[in-house]
């Protein structure tokens, strides 16, 4: 869980960096592709554009980066939803009296550590219930 939160933070940093680098280039790239597709070879040569295909592919790289950034944003939102749901379920378990899934440092226990903690908890509960006086 903590690794996912860290990854989400790193992803948000990289998303902001990519958005700053892109600026309004995606809109310009669309206009550029449209422009290049509507010019003749002679008009492009006058603009010193010798290879229409290469120029369009360069513009499409900007659009591809924008798509990657949007996909990363969507995946970050999805991962954050999973983390939030996990935290809600974790809190629900703890309010029901089950032992905490967290170490004293606030990190998640491994599955083996939690199994040991749960086993000790059950043993203590059984010991406490058998040593308490039975009311008839």
pLDDT value at 123 more than 80: yes
What's residue 134's pLDDT?
56
What are the residue ranges spanned by the domains of the chain? 2-97, 98-131
pLDDT value at 90 more than 70: yes
- pLDDT-based confidence at residue 121 (cuts at 50, 70, 90): confident
Give per-residue pLDDT as tens, 3-50. Answer: 778 888 889 899 999 989 888 898 899 899 999 888 888 888 898 888
Q: What is the rounded distance in angstroms from the CA atom of residue 117 to the CA atom of residue 98?
A: 10
What's residue 5's pLDDT?
80
What's residue 101's pLDDT?
80
Q: How far is CA 131 from CA 118, 119, 122, 125, in A?
A: 20, 18, 14, 10
Q: What is the rounded distance in angstroms from the CA atom of residue 48 to the CA atom of residue 77?
A: 44
Token pair of 46, please? 């006058």
């Amino acid at each position: 869980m903590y690794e996912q939160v860290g990854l989400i933070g790193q992803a948000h940093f990289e998303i902001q960096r990519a958005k700053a680098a892109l600026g309004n280039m995606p809109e310009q790239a669309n206009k550029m592709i449209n422009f290049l597709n509507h010019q003749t070879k002679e008009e492009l040569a006058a603009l010193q554009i010798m290879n229409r295909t290469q120029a369009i592919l360069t513009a499409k790289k900007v659009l591809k980066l924008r798509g990657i950034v949007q996909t990363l944003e969507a995946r970050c939102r999805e991962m954050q939803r999973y983390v939030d749901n996990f935290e809600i379920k974790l809190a629900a378990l703890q309010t029901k009296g089950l032992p905490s899934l967290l170490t004293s440092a606030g990190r998640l226990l491994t599955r083996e550590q939690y199994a040991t903690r749960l086993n000790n908890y059950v043993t203590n509960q059984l010991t406490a219930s058998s040593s308490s006086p039975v009311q008839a």
